[in-house]
Amino acid sequence: MNNTTVLTIDYIVRTPGICGGVPRIDGTRIAVDWIVGQMIYAGRDVDEIVEDYAHVPLTSAQIHAALAYYYDHQEEIDGLIAESEQLLDKVKRRDSRSTRADYITAKEAAALLGIDHESHQIAKLCRQGVLTGRKIANRWMISRDSLEMYQRGYRKPGPRPSSAARP
């Protein structure tokens, strides 16, 4: 009698609150839809991506697992890619019928908060869940609503004024 052992690859996970809950490579913030976009739509190969993410470190097996996940869940991942493209296009074009965009770039968010856009504070706030953001390719897109909510409770760093200094 043959005993069959089913092997699974544990490289792909989905965690609420991390990368918007989309499928990603375990131990990283690299989403499956990003890998697919790089390989299938941008024409990059596995070695290029591994080299770009040597600091993670990312392995060829993880990338192949992401592709396997894609082929098993193609409709879901294609939907995420289309959603990302629409969001990025909407931010780039700033719909002329609306004076207000739902999402803005991290650079714009930093300017509104009065912080240096190169400090990576916006990305940190997104990772902590303080701001609602979505990373598309290498750009953070920030929900304007979450930014406004943060601004209402935002206090500049530094010492609080003493009670004697208050009028």
The Cα-based distances of 74 to 87, 133, 135 in angstroms read 20, 24, 20
On whether residue 125 sits in a domain, the answer given is yes
- What CATH number is given to the structural domain containing 115? 1.10.10
Q: Which two tokens stand for residue 14?
A: 């989905």
Domain range holding 142?
93-154
**End-to-end Cα separation, the chain, in angstroms:** 88
Mean pLDDT, residues 71-75 taken together: 93
Can you give the pLDDT at residue 135? Answer: 74
pLDDT in tens, 25-54: 998 888 999 899 888 878 889 999 999 888
In terms of domains, do 101 and 70 share one? Answer: no
In terms of domains, do 77 and 107 share one? Answer: no
The 3-state DSSP class for residue 12 equals strand
d(CA 23, CA 42): 20
Q: What is the pTM of this model?
A: 0.63
Total number of domains in the chain: 2
pLDDT in tens, 77-136: 999 888 888 877 776 665 445 555 688 888 888 888 888 877 788 888 887 778 888 777
Out of 82, 101, 126, pick the residue that ends a domain: 82
* DSSP at 162: P
In terms of domains, do 77 and 103 share one? Answer: no
